[in-house]
Amino acid sequence: MIGSFNSLKNVLNRCEGLSVLEPNIYLTPFLEVVRSEDTTGPITGLALSSINKFLCYGLIDPDAPNAAVAVSGMADAVTHARFVGTDPANDEVVLMKILQVLRVLLLTKVGTLLTNEAVCEIMQSCFRICFEMRLSELLRKSAEHTLVDMVQLLFTRLPEFKEDSKNLLSNSMKKLPDSLVEDVDGQSQVSESSSVDNALNPVSGVGTFFCTGVGFPSSPRPIGFTGPLLPYGLACIRELFRFLISLTNPHDRHNTDVMIHMGMSLMMVGVGWGYWGKVSSTLAVDWDIGVKLVVHITNPLCQLSKGVKNNYKSYVLFSVPKVINKFLLIMVSVKKFTLLYTFLPILLSNFLSHNSPNNMIILFIQNAFPVSGLYTTHLLSLDALLTVVHSIEQRCSQNETNPTPTVVPERFSGEVPTIEELQLIKQKKKILQSGTELFNQKTKKGITFLQDQNLLAVPIDVREVSLWLRANPWLDKKMIGEYISDRRHPEILDNFVRTFKFEGLRLDESLRLYLETFRLPGEAPVIQRLIEAFSAYWSECNHHPFMNLDAAFTLSYAIIMLNTDQHNRNVRKQNEPMTFHEFQRNTKGCNGGQDFDQHMLEEIYTTIRNDEIVLPDEQVGPIRDRWLWNVFLRRGASPEGTWLSTSDEYHIYDRDIFAMNWGPTVSALSYVFDKSLEENIIQRSILGFKKCALISAHFSMCNVFDNLIVSLCKFTGLTSNGEAPDMTTVIFGSNPKAQLAARTMFHLTHRHGDILREGWRNILDVILPLYRSKLLPAAMVEVEDFVDPTGRVCLLREELPMQRSDSSIFSSFYQFMTLGGPSETSNQKQTTAEDQEAMRIAQDCVKELQLETLVTESKFLRLDSLQELMKALMQASHPPHVHDAMGGNYMEDSAIFFLELLLRVVLQNRDRIMSLWQMVRDHLYSCIVMATEYSLLLERAVVGLMRMAIRLLHREEVAEEVLASLQILLMIKPSIIPMVSRQIGYGLHELLRTNAANIHARADWITIFTVMKTLKHPDKKKFKKRKERDGKRRMTGHQQERYYGHNSDDETMVENVPGGYHTMSLQLLDLMHTLHTRAASIYSSWEAEERKVTNEPVVTAEASSLWGKCWCPLLQGIARLCCDARRQVRTSALTYLQRALLVHDLQTLTGKEWESCFNKVLFPLLTKLLENISPADPDGMEETRMRGATLLSKVFLQHLNPLLSLPTFTALWLTILDFMDKYMHIGKRDLLFEAIPESLKNMLLVM
């Protein structure tokens, strides 16, 4: 070997480069080292590394002379590498290098020069290493990955190969060698005469592999051979496929689970490339064998059939429903989700009657729900669901066209069956299944049922019934035998026999087929009738091979008896099984006086003895499997077994697949999104939502899109949030999942708003909390206004600050001592840094939502979607009387906000105003005309009507309708018109200023002048009363100035009101107080006058009667005016009430009547004063509350004695203490905080 390397060195020194040398020249020394039995493992490893470099660096030119010979020699040397073992670790290093060289050799360009024999030797070596359990797992896994790469390469080259019948390999396969590794000195070594192909001990019975003695020579051609070496082709792929099939055979006890799993994995790698349509006859036989083996282990048949020619697809058409569920589990476990791109349409078109598409989706959905935590199964099932959705979404994006299928099924109206036709077939099969069940119970009942369902003709068609009995494998064989042997229907038996094809079949073969379809009855006459019909038809099909019909009948009967004799246990217990000579003697002279052919009899006898005639339907194991396989083949060859889909037309059923399964799919995605905490799973769920939305938009499935929006709205947490606005902001900003749901929801709305219908209501429910939390952009909360100097006002309500009066030094000192320092908000929650950060995040998120585009982009919505949006806005902005009629809660702020949104949407869609005007006009009519009192909603509706008139008058097609709608202003209640006169007046001015030239009709001018005539100047009394009523509902400062003469000091406004404004209330107080003080004398005079007439006067001056009829109602009236918004009225009313309660006449009341005074007068008064009656006068309100609390304590102390006698005194005292506590802490004002404890101290001292 050293001499070879020296010679190579001399050659290399003389030549210019390797390109001028034949590859054999510089490869031979290295190959000799690899083949040598005297070299150790490290030396052999160095030689293998050198060969690997030659291949990886591309130093071997495929076009070089004798390159094929060099490559084949290289494969032979490496696959038969020999070396002296040292220790297991070093030996495995050499084996790893062998794997590397073999992989590179096959995968590089020079690998195309390998012969079929060389490729088979290479893969055989890899299999040997893979199945040698004594080797390390790392080495075995490396061999497995090497095999995957090789199989993938071979099958990807399948389209390049041509069929050549001269180059087919023999079907024979050989067992792997059984020689063992010799153990020397306790170590695993290889003897000097061992080679790598027998150095590894394979697992006993690993299976069979490439034949070297039959199809291949034991070694490639010599290096010096000058003849052509044919590159590998279909022959080696066929041999590989046959080996993989044998490796997955579950009936071979030598095949372990590891081997079956590897065989399945490699088979999936091979057939998954979709090139099987390029070949047909070469692998036809092996395909049939392989599919049958795959059925036994529930391998995914559809995956194996992917890309195979349609003749083979029909074979597996009827076998899939039997194994579909196990197939799905296998498919998910190996994550073969790419198959799902086309698998569902195949199931829908070919297996719809078995509910396979629904079953598959349901299986994934059930496993996608994590009940007690997320596991791999859940994630895989979720991935499968997303893959199904992704495949449909991808085809929707591609907008595929419908191609012409290769096969046009006869049973459909067009080239491709519609979903209605498939559903009709499914319904028909359900009826047939019901008929089958009835037939199995009672034959006549089943036949009658199918006739009633128009699936069988009336009157009965014997041919049709016979075909149904023959083709339906789910019928009870016993019931079939009874039905066809019925003497009342002899024509049934004759037609049933004629459904078989006995041409060219031996009598026992035909009889086996015949008896597989029904169970023979036990009565001899019935059996005779069945066999007579069979033998007559068989003789007819085979041109009467015997002397007469009786000969066929006799031999048939003899075959049945032979079958019983050979295989019946009871018979075998009593007698020895019949021999061939006995069988021959029994049939002697039965062929019309002659003997039957001895050779035929011998074949019949041998067949029956080795293979019992049984009823496969009642068997288990291989017998039943073989029978079912034949049934599948027969049905696959029929028109019913035509494969309906090709890879180009999968999209035609996408809508129907999605319609069947979108509900549970969205539910599963929602569940996973809601329960999962992992970011990647949440993102995958959101991706699923987006793809479902795209599919629903593509197919205009509005209900699906609405459901998606509803689900996402729920996850935002805004629709069911009853928290305060600030808390809503904090909660939303601290919930990333809610923000993600909101982003996704509005992204889908912006993109696919055209198909949104009912979902608009849910979107508005999400926007409303954002509006109340002041998170919406300014463009959505600022609206146009005619009166405001800036022309715009903000809809957000302004929180009135609580004014704090100056406190004395003693008050400040007391507060410092009791509370630890001055604090205006001691009972208010402090905003933490985390809350501020959450608020900032919420604001940023709302900015990303681009909510203003919902209005600006509404002009691009389809009309039906736009109308649904407007209906949702109108429903959310109904006036109070509509809410009362519907039993809902009316909130003015939300109604105003949605009304303004509605008006903006209408103005954005001026081009389509004719389709929208009537519904908008009706809504404004309801808000304006039906209002019974003034409200801000009414005012904004009036402003909105004027705004639309100004914007739309220049459009001639709608100008007349708009001007006619101004007559709505004439229908406003007269008492309300002054409140909105300024808005109407300013609006009319703007209308005439901008659109006077567009008003042409006399009637329109009359309308405008009539509206102007009805306007009235509002008086200040009514404005003040309105302020008192809506004191707690103030808008921004601009609106306040608009309503109250641009004066920010409310007290100044009150002082400027004429004195008559308070006169009526003060006079009423004086009148009630006078009546109260003089009530006793008045009633006494009335009683005296009546006593002059009768001894039993109706009117009495007793204290108990005066309290119920006079004193209590008058005190209640005075107490109501104590809650007036005007400070002067409140002060006077409290003074009058104090005088009235301390009047001398009331001292005669009992404790029960004083308790009634507390419950009906004082407690309601104190409860009302807790409200913010006059927001503009906080100091006055504090004084009023203090006086009310003081009055309560005085009345309690003055009448303590009669109250102590009451059994309910404790409840009364606790109620008083509760009010004292509330008044002490309301508003955090010093006056109340200091006065209440003082009053309580006095009360306790007296008590």
pLDDT tens, 590-632? Answer: 888 888 888 899 999 999 888 888 776 666 666 666 667 677 6
**Which pLDDT value is given to residue 745?**
92
Q: Which range is least confidently modeled, 186-195, 471-480, 1140-1149?
A: 186-195
Asked if residue 1043 has pLDDT above 50, the reply is: no
Mean of the pLDDT values across residues 701-721?
87
Structure token digits, residue 961? 């309708």
How far is the first Cα of the chain from the last one, in angstroms, to the nearest whole number?
126
Measured distance CA(510)–CA(1201) in Å, rounded: 119
**Which pLDDT value is given to residue 1233?**
74
Q: Do 1009 and 1124 fall within a single domain?
A: no
> Is the residue at 51 inside a domain?
yes
Which of the two residues, 1056 and 158, has the higher pLDDT score? 158
Mean of the pLDDT values across residues 8-33?
77
Mean of the pLDDT values across residues 992-1007?
84
**Which pLDDT value is given to residue 900?**
92
- Which of 593, 611, 640 finishes a domain? 640
**To which H or E segment does residue 321 belong?**
helix 320-333
Give the single-character DSSP code of 22. Answer: -
> Is the residue at 994 inside a domain?
yes
Instruction: Dump pLDDT digits (tens) for 1105-1163.
Output: 778 888 888 888 888 888 888 888 888 888 888 888 877 777 778 888 888 888 888 88
Measured distance CA(313)–CA(645) in Å, rounded: 10
Measured distance CA(977)–CA(986) in Å, rounded: 14
- Find out whether 941 and 899 touch, Cβ atoms under 8 Å: yes
Closest listed residue to residue 884, CA positions, set 914, 934, 926, 916: 926
Percent of the residues in the chain that have a pLDDT greater than 70, as a whole number = 72
**Which pLDDT value is given to residue 1012?**
81
**Which pLDDT value is given to residue 1049?**
39
Instruction: Dump pLDDT digits (tens) for 762-798.
Output: 999 999 989 988 889 988 888 888 888 888 888 886 5
SS (H, E, C) 1044-1059: CCCCCCHHHHHHCCCC
Instruction: Dump pLDDT digits (tens) for 204-248.
Output: 222 232 332 222 333 344 434 445 678 888 888 888 888 888 887
150, amino acid identity: M
Closest listed residue to residue 345, CA positions, set 692, 635, 642, 655: 655
- Find out whether 1068 and 1095 touch, Cβ atoms under 8 Å: no
Give the single-character DSSP code of 416. Answer: S
Banded model confidence at residue 817, pLDDT cuts 50, 70, 90:
very low
Which of the two residues, 1084 and 422, has the higher pLDDT score? 1084
- Cα–Cα distances (Å) from 1105 to 835, 1079, 1099, 1156, 1213, in that order, read 61, 11, 9, 13, 26
What DSSP line would sit under 337-400, residue for residue?
GGGHHHHHHHHHHHSGGGTHHHHHHHHHHHHH--SSS--HHHHHHHHHHHHHHHHHHHHHHHT-
The per-residue pLDDT of the chain, averaged, comes to: 75
**Which pLDDT value is given to residue 1035?**
42
Banded model confidence at residue 709, pLDDT cuts 50, 70, 90:
very high
Structure token digits, residue 528? 């005779």
- Find out whether 879 and 895 touch, Cβ atoms under 8 Å: yes
Give the single-character DSSP code of 782. Answer: E
Mean of the pLDDT values across residues 1218-1245?
77
Percent of the residues in the chain that have a pLDDT greater than 90, as a whole number = 13
Q: Do 1086 and 981 fall within a single domain?
A: no
The label of the residue with tokens 């008083």 reads 1216
Asked if residue 1036 has pLDDT above 80, the reply is: no
Q: Do 993 and 1137 fall within a single domain?
A: no
Point out which residues pair with 40 in neighbouring strands.
84
Q: Which range is least confidently modeled, 660-664, 777-781, 791-795, 991-995?
A: 660-664
Q: Do 88 and 219 fall within a single domain?
A: yes
Banded model confidence at residue 375, pLDDT cuts 50, 70, 90:
low
**To which H or E segment does residue 89 belong?**
helix 88-107
**To which H or E segment does residue 783 belong?**
strand 782-784
Parent domain of 171: 2-278
Sequence-distant (6+) residues with CB within 8 A of 612 are 563, 566, 567
- Which of 640, 664, 683 finishes a domain? 640
Measured distance CA(109)–CA(748) in Å, rounded: 50
Structure token digits, residue 594? 């002659």
Mean of the pLDDT values across residues 802-820?
42
Measured distance CA(532)–CA(536) in Å, rounded: 6
CB atoms within 10 A of CB 897: 26
Measured distance CA(255)–CA(865) in Å, rounded: 63
Measured distance CA(369)–CA(560) in Å, rounded: 57
Q: Which range is least confidently modeled, 84-98, 625-639, 657-671, 734-748?
A: 625-639
Closest listed residue to residue 901, CA positions, set 931, 874, 934, 938: 874
- Which of 278, 297, 315 finishes a domain? 278
> Is the residue at 181 inside a domain?
yes
Measured distance CA(987)–CA(826) in Å, rounded: 48
> Is the residue at 784 inside a domain?
no
Instruction: Dump pLDDT digits (tens) for 1176-1227.
Output: 788 888 888 888 888 888 888 888 888 888 888 888 888 888 888 888 777 6
Banded model confidence at residue 89, pLDDT cuts 50, 70, 90:
confident
Closest listed residue to residue 927, CA positions, set 919, 939, 918, 916: 939
Mean of the pLDDT values across residues 667-676?
83
Q: Do 990 and 1112 fall within a single domain?
A: no
Highest-confidence range of 228-242, 409-423, 445-459, by mean pLDDT?
A: 445-459
**Which pLDDT value is given to residue 721?**
63
What backbone phi and psi angles, to 5 degrees, belong to 1122?
A: -65, -20
Count how many domains the chain has: 4
What backbone phi and psi angles, to 5 degrees, belong to 363?
A: -60, -45
> Is the residue at 177 inside a domain?
yes
Banded model confidence at residue 1229, pLDDT cuts 50, 70, 90:
low
Sequence-distant (6+) residues with CB within 8 A of 158 are 234, 237, 273, 275, 276, 278, 279
**Which pLDDT value is given to residue 747?**
93
Q: Which range is least confidently modeled, 308-312, 359-363, 531-535?
A: 308-312
**Which pLDDT value is given to residue 1113?**
87
Q: Do 110 and 240 fall within a single domain?
A: yes
Instruction: Dump pLDDT digits (tens) for 564-576.
Output: 888 887 777 777 8
583, amino acid identity: F
Measured distance CA(1029)–CA(1022) in Å, rounded: 10
**Which pLDDT value is given to residue 339?**
47
Q: Find the Cα–Cα–Cα–Cα dihedral 81, 82, 86, 89, rounded to 10°.
A: 20
Q: Do 1013 and 1085 fall within a single domain?
A: no
Q: Do 1070 and 1146 fall within a single domain?
A: yes
Mean of the pLDDT values across residues 12-25?
73
Which of the two residues, 873 and 64, has the higher pLDDT score? 873
Q: CA angle, corner 724, sides to 723 and 725, nearest 5? A: 115
Mean of the pLDDT values across residues 91-113?
90
Asked if residue 742 has pLDDT above 90, the reply is: yes
pTM over 0.85: no
Measured distance CA(838)–CA(844) in Å, rounded: 10
Banded model confidence at residue 367, pLDDT cuts 50, 70, 90:
low
Banded model confidence at residue 168, pLDDT cuts 50, 70, 90:
very low
Banded model confidence at residue 250, pLDDT cuts 50, 70, 90:
confident
Mean of the pLDDT values across residues 940-946?
92
Instruction: Dump pLDDT digits (tens) for 269-288.
Output: 776 554 444 444 444 444 45
Return the CA Rg of the chain.
50
> Is the residue at 1129 inside a domain?
yes
Q: Crossing angle, helix 490-497 and helix 462-471, to 10 degrees?
A: 50
Mean of the pLDDT values across residues 487-492?
86
Asked if residue 1236 has pLDDT above 50, the reply is: yes
Sequence-distant (6+) residues with CB within 8 A of 428 are 455
Measured distance CA(560)–CA(577) in Å, rounded: 14
Closest listed residue to residue 980, CA positions, set 927, 947, 938: 938
**Which pLDDT value is given to residue 586?**
86
Q: Do 255 and 118 fall within a single domain?
A: yes
Which of the two residues, 950 and 1084, has the higher pLDDT score? 950
Closest listed residue to residue 1103, CA positions, set 1073, 1079, 1119, 1139: 1079
Measured distance CA(945)–CA(987) in Å, rounded: 9
> Is the residue at 657 inside a domain?
no
Q: What CATH number does the domain containing 550 carry?
A: 1.10.1000.11
Q: Do 93 and 229 fall within a single domain?
A: yes
Q: Do 1065 and 984 fall within a single domain?
A: no
Which of the two residues, 494 and 285, has the higher pLDDT score? 494
**Which pLDDT value is given to residue 746?**
93
**Which pLDDT value is given to residue 356?**
52
- Find out whether 655 and 699 touch, Cβ atoms under 8 Å: yes
The label of the residue with tokens 């998606």 reads 708
Structure token digits, residue 761? 């209501």
Closest listed residue to residue 596, CA positions, set 629, 558, 630: 558
Q: Do 1007 and 1104 fall within a single domain?
A: no
> Is the residue at 63 inside a domain?
yes
Instruction: Dump pLDDT digits (tens) for 317-363.
Output: 344 444 444 444 444 443 444 444 455 555 555 555 455 555 556 66
Asked if residue 314 has pLDDT above 50, the reply is: no
**Which pLDDT value is given to residue 901?**
93
- Cα–Cα distances (Å) from 78 to 105, 223, 460, in that order, read 10, 14, 74
